[in-house]
Amino acid sequence: MPQPVRVATVGLGWVALHRHLPVMKRSRRFEVVGVIDRAPGRARAVAAERRLAHSAEASSLAGVDWLDQVDAITVATAPMGHAALIGEALALGKHVLTEKPFTMTVPEGEALLAAAAKADRRLAIVHNFQFSRSARKLAADLEGGRLGEVRSVSAVQFGNPRRRLPEWYEQLPLGLFYDESPHLLYLLRRLAGDLRLARCLVSPSTRGLVTPARLDAHFTSPDFAGPITLSCNFESPISEWYLAVFGEKAAGIVDVFRDIYVRLGNDEGHDTLHVLATSLAATRQHWWQHVTNGPPHLLGQLFYGNEEVFDRFGRAIDGEIEALAPICGERALDVLKLQHAIIERQEIIGG
């Protein structure tokens, strides 16, 4: 194992405290040197609690005098701050791993890719759900032909506005959609290839918010002939995310939040026996994976593929550049372009 990558984490909200810092602590590839946050006292308190050498109260990297001891920066601030912090870090010669969404505009993303290439630094984005246990099971079924010829791919999101949400999400274009859609878009791209927006219908919020009540997007792809859809309901009484692949032999369904994968066979004529068999298969697989996923979830150790993201980032820094491919800046830029295509070409209905 090479020497650990020395890291500073910027932005100490929920994601940094429950994903970035715990994952790096469990990995031999990283040594967290210090933390940075603009809120008074927060960085100092986190550094003391986690026994880190350094902390800084700052909204930028300028003036943080211990960054010469750091090889890489992880960015977990609100999206509005990503571009400036990534640019500062690259200018200082640091590798960067940032949360999604990548940046606020496509030109910002393009400029950062150019800056990373010029500095010969690794730039990666936390596109983690593609490495979750459930997504890997779906990938294995696809590779093994257990779903048969794939007919369509769909991502579905139900969002309960009462759940824990960042305080800044309404400042984004289309609100919560801009913050959360990268996950669903990179999952769709992973399955269907290079997506092109065909049409997007948006129903405005019934609550006077920037976040719409509903958004339905349809895509095409030169790599896949069937329907590709994204459906988001942001005024739901429940919070659920699903990724579904419909094949000739079976359907493969990823329950993203629970990290559960269910494969349901073709129910043929939908007679009573086939319906009961589908119910039995669904409940058996669902509850068995609750048994296996429950303990790490309760212990705060169900990281939804973040371990793989950080491991790939570390390997890329150590010279294994190809490890970065699924989380590289180029992939994130493709997702960013899809987001902005939706924003620019949305068709408002109702309201």
Residue-wise pLDDT tens digits, 100-115: 999 999 999 999 999 9
Instruction: List CB contacts of 93: < 8 A, sequence separation 6 or more.
Output: 119, 121
Banded model confidence at residue 351, pLDDT cuts 50, 70, 90: low
CATH number of 5-121: 3.40.50.720
- Omega cis (within 30) before 182: no
* Rounded-to-integer distance, Cα 301 and Cα 323, Å: 23
Residue-wise pLDDT tens digits, 2-38: 899 999 999 999 999 999 999 999 999 999 999 999 9
Helix, strand, coil % in the chain, rounded to nearest 5: 40, 25, 35
Given a contact cutoff of 8 angstroms between Cβ atoms, the answer to whether 135 and 240 are in contact is no
Q: What angle do CA 27, 29, 31 make, to 5 degrees?
A: 85
Tokens of 151: 């007919």
CA nearest to 25, candidates 7, 44, 42: 7
Greatest Cα pair distance in the chain: 70
| pLDDT given for residue 64 in this prediction | 97
Instruction: Please give the average per-residue pLDDT across 330-337, as a whole number.
Output: 98
Instruction: Please give the average per-residue pLDDT across 81-95, as a whole number.
Output: 98
CATH number of 130-303+340-348: 3.30.360.10
The DSSP output letter for 274 is: H
Q: Where are the domains of the chain?
A: 5-121, 130-303+340-348
CA dist 312 to 27, 74, 277, 296, 327, Å?
12, 14, 40, 22, 8
Specify the DSSP element, H or E, that contains 226. Answer: strand 224-233
Q: How far apart are the first and last CA of the chain?
A: 58
